[in-house]
Structure 1
Amino acid sequence: MKKRIHILEDDKDIGYIIEFLLKDEGYDLQLSSSFKEMKKKLKDSIPDLFILDVMLPDGNGIEICHDLKNDMFTKHIPVIVMSANIRSKQMSEMAAPDDYISKPFDLDDIENRIKKLLA
């Protein structure tokens, strides 16, 4: 069965690049460009992994990660937080993500981190 990944990224170009890479690797993807959109999509299905951007139009990926890790229905799901802001890595540690990716990122690195978390 295909692993499902939910990508919360408001930058369409970055979302497209990640989507292209992961679909090519055989993952089933859900994409959201806002927290509101993500909440709506989670009502239909829960993914096997979350990738969350930090800076969003209606939320903060670090706070969303914290909420996911403290919810009994999602706390077991790996979360990758990604940001271009170097301070976000330090701030995200309190939210306990399973991994952190700095932008700009290496596509092979993202793929390897995802495989490791879903193994």
Structure 2
Amino acid sequence: MRKIFLVEDNEAIREILEIFLTSENYNVKSFATVEEFAARDVCETPDLYLFDVMLRDGSGIDLCRQIKEDHDNKNIPVIIMSAHAGLGHFENLCEPEDFIAKPFDIDHVLEKIRNLLN
């Protein structure tokens, strides 16, 4: 079962993504804050990271940059989600494999995830 780490501070969006992706046979670990994500078991690595840009205590862009600079994680795909920016707004700040604009179509999210993991 493929594993996804999700960082999203909006509880409703986080729950919808977690329920939907779990129903599609993904193992989803979700985090509401950068602090929760930082406290994760770093020995456990996902197959994909899914980060919201604007978080209560930080930025998904910063998380993306940390992942891409980490030798052990740099090849794991990152998808960034945002309601306020497009891919061009942060291309030079981090290099995610894909971008999802909010609000999103859940089937479109699934398609992007499948494309990156297959």
- TM-score, normalisation: structure 2: 0.94
Q: Tell me the residue number matched to 2:90.
A: 92
1:76 aligns with 2:75: yes
- 1:44 Cα deviation from its structure 2 partner: 4.6
Q: Which runs of 5+ in 2 are unaligned?
A: none
For 1:51-76, what per-residue CA distance to the aligned partner results, in whole angstroms no more than 9, with x for missing partners? 00001111111121111111101101
Q: Tell me the residue number matched to 2:108.
A: 109
Q: Tell me the residue number matched to 2:3.
A: 4
1:15 aligns with 2:20: no
After superposition, the Cα gap between the structure-2 partners of 1:50 and 1:42, relative to the gap in structure 1 and judged at 3 Å, is farther
- The residue type paired with residue 109 of structure 1 is H
- The residue type paired with residue 108 of structure 1 is D
- 1:89 Cα deviation from its structure 2 partner: 2.5
> Which protein is richer in helix relative to its size?
1
Stretches of 4+ moved more than 6 A in 1?
Answer: none
Q: Tell me the residue number matched to 2:58.
A: 59
Q: How many residues align?
A: 117
| CA–CA separation in structure 2 for the residues paired with 1:3 and 1:71 | 21
Q: Which runs of 5+ in 1 are unaligned?
A: none
Q: Tell me the residue number matched to 1:30.
A: 29
Report the identity percentage. 38
